[in-house]
Amino acid sequence: MPSTQTNVAPSFRKTTETFTAGAKSLSQRYFVSPEIFADEQKKIFSAQWVLAGHQSQITRSGDYFLSEIAAENLIVVRDQRSTIRGFYNVCRHRGTRLREDQTGHASVIQCPYHAWTYALDGRLLGAPHMDDVPGFDKADYSLHPVHLGLWEGFIFANLADSPTPLDKWFAPLAGKFSHWNLPKLRSAKRIDYDVQANWKLIFENYSECYHCPGVHPALSKLSPYDSAENDLTEGPFLGGFMRITKGNSLTMSGKSCALPVGDFRDFHRIFYYSIFPNMLLSLHPDYAMLHQLRPMSPERTLIFCDWFFHPEAFERKDFKPEDAIEFWDMTNKQDWHVCELSQQGIASRAYEPGPYSTRESIPAAWDREYLRYVS
CATH of the domain at 141: 2.102.10.10
Write the pLDDT tens digit of every residue in 42-92.
Answer: 999 999 999 999 999 999 999 999 999 999 999 999 999 999 999 999 999
Write the pLDDT tens digit of every residue in 4-21.
Answer: 333 334 444 444 445 567
Q: What is the pLDDT of residue 247?
A: 87
Residue 146 lies in a domain: yes
pLDDT at 22 over 90: no
Q: What is the pLDDT of residue 6?
A: 35
Q: Which domain holds residue 106?
A: 50-163
Q: What average pLDDT does the chain have?
A: 94
Q: What is the pLDDT of residue 18?
A: 54
**Whether residue 283 sits in one domain with residue 148:** no
Average pLDDT over residues 157-170: 97
pLDDT at 239 over 90: yes
pLDDT at 38 over 70: yes
Confidence of residue 264 (pLDDT cuts 50, 70, 90): confident
**Whether residue 211 sits in one domain with residue 127:** no
SS (H, E, C) the chain: CCCCCCCCCCCCCCCCCCCCCCCECCCCHHHHCHHHHHHHHHHHHCCCCEEEEEHHHCCCCCEEEEEEECCEEEEEEECCCCCEEEEECCCCCCCCCCCCCCEEECCCEECCCCCCEECCCCCEEECCCCCCCCCCCHHHCCCCEEEEEEECCEEEEECCCCCCCHHHHCHHHCCCCHHHCHHHCEEEEEEEEEECCCHHHHHHHHCCCCCHHHHCHHHHHHCCCCCCEEEECCCCEEEEEEECCCCCCCCCCCCCCCCCCCCCCCCCEEEEEEECCCEEEEECCCCEEEEEEEEEECCEEEEEEEEEECHHHHHCCCCCHHHHHHHHHHHHHHHHHHHHHHHHHHCCCCCCCCECCHHHHHHHHHHHHHHHHHC
Q: What is the pLDDT of residue 2?
A: 33
Q: What is the pLDDT of residue 137?
A: 97
Write the pLDDT tens digit of every residue in 314-328.
Answer: 999 999 999 999 999
Residue 9 lies in a domain: no
Cα separation, 134 vs 297, in Å, equals 45
**Whether residue 247 sits in one domain with residue 98:** no
**Whether residue 225 sits in one domain with residue 345:** yes
pTM of the predicted structure, to 2 decimals? 0.93
pLDDT at 217 over 90: yes
**Whether residue 260 sits in one domain with residue 342:** yes
Give the whole-number percent of the chain exceeding pLDDT 90: 92
Average pLDDT over residues 208-236: 95
Question: Domains in the chain: how many in total?
Answer: 2
Average pLDDT over residues 209-225: 95
Residue 99 lies in a domain: yes
pLDDT at 135 over 70: yes
Q: What is the pLDDT of residue 46?
A: 98
Q: What is the pLDDT of residue 10?
A: 45
**Whether residue 209 sits in one domain with residue 186:** yes
Q: Which of 163, 189, 218 is the last residue of a domain?
A: 163
Average pLDDT over residues 21-46: 96
pLDDT at 1 over 70: no
